[in-house]
Amino acid sequence: MTNPLIDKLSTTPLLCDGAMGTSLFAAGHANDACLEALNETHRDDVGRIHRAMITAGAQIIETNTFGANRYRLEAHGLEDKVAQFNKRAVRIAREQREISGEDVVVAGSVGPTGRTLEPYGQLPVDDAEAAFREQADALLEGGVDCFLIETMGDVEELKAAVRGIRSVSDLPVIACVTFGEDGRTIRQLTPEAVVAQLLPLDVQVIGANCSVGPKVLLRVLKKMRKAVEGAENAPKLIAMPNAGWPTISNGRYIYPSTPEYFAEFAVNAYEAGADIIGGCCGTTNEHIAAMRKALDAVVVRGETEATETLPSAKISLVDTSDEPSALKLALGKRFLKCVEIQPPKGLNPTKALNGARLLKDAGVDAITVADSPMARVRMSALTMCYLIQHEVGIDTILHYTTRDRSMMGLQSDLLGAHASGVRNILALTGDPPSLGDNVGSTGVFDVDSIGLIRVIAGMNEGADSTGTSIGRNANFTILCAVDPTKPDVEEEARRLHRKIEAGAQFVMTQPIFDPQVWVDFLKVFGAPKLPLPVMIGILPLQSAKHAEFIHNELPGITLTEEARRRMQLAGENGRQEGIRMAQELLLELRQYAEGVYLMPSFGRYETAAEVLSILGEDDTEILSRPIAN
């Protein structure tokens, strides 16, 4: 399985975050408050805690959903808010990841039901499993990278949680049991006995969290490490202790373990074999920062190693050559593979750059960079293209919209793009600003995408829009977009004709979910194939709910009934079914195209790499296939 967590576990140790509850209490929220409801009422407080943990150096952040199952929410009369609270929590965590720009993993936190299972208690195991399934389904729809089951005193309840998760998802699962001061669970299981029960489960990481401080949990960790040695497909290990036993002062829990003490624990846990290290109750961003510093002192972080081994070849800082872009030079020589990356919402481009590196290693020819899609503020797409080309050494395609720029601004940007080596321009009109977060903002729209194509074509002839010389001919590759799924396909075909007449050199389609859609569009266009190269757009689906969200709420994307039906039938295998559907589309559609353009959701660039793995190393034979009529 390719997944951000699985990939990162090859460069252990990973640092998880600290206690969400402790931080929320410190922010002034009551001890008896429903912390999960704060995802709706105080989302900024939750977001600030995620941001502080990321800034401190956490590589995994947990969603504020520990008690977001129907039974724990029932105590607050909120049992009907399971889906709402869980999805909102994931959105908050993902937003803070995007704002930070750091390549952190978002883990969906799953805590116990708070009820005792039969035969010792009254909660049927099947009901517990259903509750975990309900929560996992919402976390999955929100876009988590993995699930973290934590603070499970009863291994049977943990098993129910795993079954509930596995009934809707194949994402990695981290399974944590809680132990007492005697090193045993509430059912008196030893660490060795716990490992024996967890090994047969479909989980990728096992370990312990909560209840006890670092000293006891370290002993538990060492026993678990010994118990997994030699096991087939042995899971990784995680250790997340409390900051000692708390005392109560003025109605607040006070934990005695200092950040310095936790820094020492982090090193000891790493040396004892922990692959993921973090903190539970009582641990704050100060504890995480101390652990980060201590771990960095004894082990080289994986991303540092990856950066140092990158190829040294980079595009010149100032590109004065008249050579076409690498993408244009490759056209006709092989089937082109491109993947979209979205710039960060904040100042740090690390996650996007790491995604570009992953995709370059997967054999991608170019990275396409979206220009504040859905009219939501992100880092400049042009700046992101520049960074990718100079830091990663791979060609880019700049999505460039007329929405935000006057005619003068458009041309100024284009001159700068050319000088910095950004030569592939996808000319777009852009989503109206009212669609995004800045509802009071207005668009410029001096020209639409067709007008922009004419401007770029004029620059390729050596002049700006007024006919004034720009010194020499530019060498832009001019790309245009087409949406064959639009209700008024005749108008879309007419606009494509006009884009080609204006000077477009390459076509990129909106996502297609049925090859027949493209065949039908070509008939309306009036030709068995387009008179210029085509890059077919494919969007890998993640789950049935993801498919419905895209179909019903994202403008410009329409799924077929068959695609929606297949995702519904896929159930817990939705991600793999989405990859399989994307691969099938790629194999069927490549006869009509010179390349593919993948749009992975949730920043899961590894999904795009999996889709592209269906293609062999040498794709030149694809180009020799006859075009279907």
Q: Are 344 and 274 contained in the same domain? A: no
Q: pLDDT band at residue 618, thresholds of 50, 70 and 90?
A: very low
Among 226-235, 254-263, 306-315, 409-418, the least confident range: 306-315
Looking at residue 528, what is its pLDDT?
87
Q: Are 122 and 266 contained in the same domain? A: yes
Q: Is the pLDDT of residue 257 over 50?
A: yes
Quote the CA–CA distance of 568 and 564 in Å, as a whole number. 6
Q: pLDDT band at residue 321, thresholds of 50, 70 and 90?
A: low
Quote the CA–CA distance of 88 and 95 in Å, as a whole number. 10
Looking at residue 598, what is its pLDDT?
96
Is 319 part of a structural domain of the chain?
no
Question: 572 or 126, which is more confident?
Answer: 126
544, 575 contact by CB (below 8 A): no
- DSSP per-residue letters across 529-595: S-SS-EEEEE-----HHHHHHHHHHSTT----HHHHHHHHHHGGGHHHHHHHHHHHHHHHHGGG-SE
Among 207-216, 304-313, 372-381, 614-623, the least confident range: 304-313
Is 316 part of a structural domain of the chain?
no
CB atoms within 10 A of CB 126: 11
Q: Are 189 and 292 contained in the same domain? A: yes
Is 628 part of a structural domain of the chain?
no
- Average predicted confidence (pLDDT) for the chain: 88
Collapse the DSSP code of 123 into the 3-class scheme (helix H, G, I; strand E, B; otherwise coil) and give the result.
strand
Looking at residue 619, what is its pLDDT?
45
Q: Are 429 and 552 contained in the same domain? A: yes
Specify the number of domains making up the chain: 2
Residue 116: which domain range? 4-306
CATH code of the domain covering residue 433: 3.20.20.220
Q: pLDDT band at residue 431, thresholds of 50, 70 and 90?
A: low
Looking at residue 314, what is its pLDDT?
43
Q: Are 295 and 352 contained in the same domain? A: no
Q: pLDDT band at residue 21, thresholds of 50, 70 and 90?
A: very high
- β-partners of residue 247 are 254
Is 320 part of a structural domain of the chain?
no
Q: Is the pLDDT of residue 441 over 80?
A: no
Q: Are 294 and 405 contained in the same domain? A: no
Q: Are 286 and 421 contained in the same domain? A: no
Q: Are 255 and 341 contained in the same domain? A: no
DSSP 8-state assignment for residue 344: P
Q: Are 116 and 170 contained in the same domain? A: yes
Q: What is the mean pLDDT of residues 309-328?
A: 59
Question: 429 or 271, which is more confident?
Answer: 271
CA distances from 484 to 233, 519, 546, 559, 611 (A): 46, 9, 21, 12, 22
Q: pLDDT band at residue 313, thresholds of 50, 70 and 90?
A: very low
Q: Is the pLDDT of residue 185 over 90?
A: yes
Quote the CA–CA distance of 388 and 106 in Å, as a whole number. 24
Q: What is the pLDDT of residues 450-484, one digit of tens each?
A: 999 999 999 999 999 999 888 889 999 999 999 99
What amino acid occupies position 532? L
Question: 435 or 294, which is more confident?
Answer: 294
Q: Is the pLDDT of residue 83 over 50?
A: yes
Q: What is the mean pLDDT of residues 391-395?
A: 95
Looking at residue 300, what is its pLDDT?
59
What amino acid occupies position 548? E
Q: Are 83 and 25 contained in the same domain? A: yes
Q: What is the pLDDT of residues 339-385, one digit of tens each?
A: 999 998 888 899 999 999 999 999 999 999 998 776 678 899 999 99
Is 610 part of a structural domain of the chain?
yes
Radius of gyration in angstroms for the set of CA atoms belonging to the chain, rounded to a whole number: 26
Q: Is the pLDDT of residue 535 over 80?
A: yes
Q: pLDDT band at residue 308, thresholds of 50, 70 and 90?
A: very low
Q: pLDDT band at residue 572, thresholds of 50, 70 and 90?
A: confident
Quote the CA–CA distance of 36 and 32 in Å, as a whole number. 12
Q: Is the pLDDT of residue 615 over 60?
A: yes
Q: What is the mean pLDDT of residues 549-557?
A: 80
